[in-house]
Amino acid sequence: MTLTELRYVVTLAQLQHFGKAAERCNVNQSTLSIAVKKLEGELGIELFERSKSSVRATPIGEKVISQSQRVLEEAAAIKDIAMSGKDQLNSPLHVGAIFTIGPYLFPHFIPQLQKAAPQMPLIIEESYTSTLRKRLRNGEVDVIIVALPFSEPDVVVQPLYAEPFVVLLPQSHPLSKKKVIERGDLDTENVLMLGEGHCFRDQVIEALPNINCWNKQSASVRTMTEGSSLETLCYMVASGLGITILPQTAAIGAESRGNGLVTRPFSGVAPQRTTALAWRASFPRHRAIDALRKSIYDSNLPGITRS
C-alpha cells in the first residue's frame, strides 16, 4: 500500500463519490477506482459499499480509513520536520480560506506578501470550513483562514481581526432611508441567506434569530431562495428578490459596483465575526506564518478591528 492509495480512500470516504474524490485528488476517476480496488485486494476486504447513487465505507472500512487518516497526519508531520531545515520563506506556502473570506481578503494581502517574501510561491484555495479542517490535518494545506469559533486538536488558532455585519439593500428600499438598522426592522423582511454548510449562515441566524420568521399569511410575496455565495446574494438583492446581510469586507465591493445597492450598519453593538489563522502545531515555518499575518494587517482592510 502507498500513501497515495491511503489518501484516495480517505478522500473517497469524505466525499462519498468517486468523481468528486478523483477531482479532489487531481486524477481521473478510473485511476482512483483502480487504486481503491488494488488496496482492497491487497488487504483482502471490501472498504466500501458501492451502489449507483452512493459510496459508503463498510464497518471494517471505517476502521481502516480512520487509521489511514492518522498515517497521513504522521506523514505530514515528517514533511513539516523536513521543511524546518529549509529557508522558511523560500518554499511554497499553501493557504486555504473559507468561501466568505477568501475572495475579499486574497486580493488585498497577496501583493503585500509577494513584496515581503518574493521567493515564496503562494498556493491558495477556497472551500468550506469542514473541508479545510481535514485538508489541514492531512498536510494538504499549510495554514487556513477561517471564522471563529474553530478548534482542532494539535492545531494553533490565532484571531486576526473582527468585522461587523451590515445590511445590503436596494437604494429604493424603505430601510435605506434610515442611517442605522434596528434588529427588529428585519423581522418582517425577506432576508436572503447562504445555503446550508456555510458557517456565515449559522452566524447570521445566531445573531438574528428572528429573521425570516414572518407571518406568511400577512406578508407580501416572499422568496426562500438561498445563494451559493455572497456574490450571488448581492445579485439577488440587485434583482429585487430581497435584502441580505454581509460581512463588512464583502459589503464594500457590493456597494461600489453601482448596482443601486447601499449598505446600512446595525444600531448599537453590531453582530460581527472574528477571522483567524489556523495551522498545525507541528508546522515549523513560523516565519512564513508571521509574514502572512503581517501582510494581512498591512493590507489595511477597511472596517475591521485588529485582534
Q: Are 261 and 230 in contact (CB under 8 A)?
A: no
> CA–CA separation, 199 vs 246, rounded Å?
13
Q: Which residues contact 221 (CB under 8 A, 6 or more apart)?
A: none
- In the prediction, which pLDDT does 85 show? 60
Q: Which residues contact 126 (CB under 8 A, 6 or more apart)?
A: 96, 97, 98, 99, 102, 103
Structure-block grid coordinates of residue 17: 463519490
Q: Are 101 and 109 in contact (CB under 8 A)?
A: no
Burial class (CB in 10 A: 0-12, 13-18, 19+), 144: buried
Confirm whether 3-83 and 163-265 share one CATH topology: no
Which class does domain 163-265 fall in?
alpha beta
CATH of segment(s) 3-83 = 1.10.10.10
- In the prediction, which pLDDT does 168 show? 94
pLDDT by 10s per residue, the chain, length 307: 899 999 999 999 998 999 989 998 989 999 999 999 999 999 999 999 988 778 999 999 999 999 998 899 888 878 777 766 666 788 899 999 999 999 999 999 999 999 999 999 999 999 999 999 999 988 899 999 999 999 998 899 999 999 999 999 999 999 999 999 999 999 888 899 888 888 899 999 898 888 877 644 444 334 445 567 899 899 899 888 889 999 998 888 776 676 789 999 999 998 999 999 999 998 989 999 999 999 999 988 877 888 7
DSSP letter at 216? T
Q: Domain limits of the chain?
A: 3-83, 93-161+273-306, 163-265
- In the prediction, which pLDDT does 221 show? 39
Q: Are 233 and 244 in contact (CB under 8 A)?
A: yes
- In the prediction, which pLDDT does 220 show? 39
Asked: is 93-161+273-306 a CATH 3.30.70.1060 domain? The reply is no
Q: Which residue type, as a one-letter code, is found at position 111?
A: P
Q: Burial letters for 263-275: b for 16+ Cβ neighbours within 10 Å, e otherwise?
A: bbbbeeebbbbbb
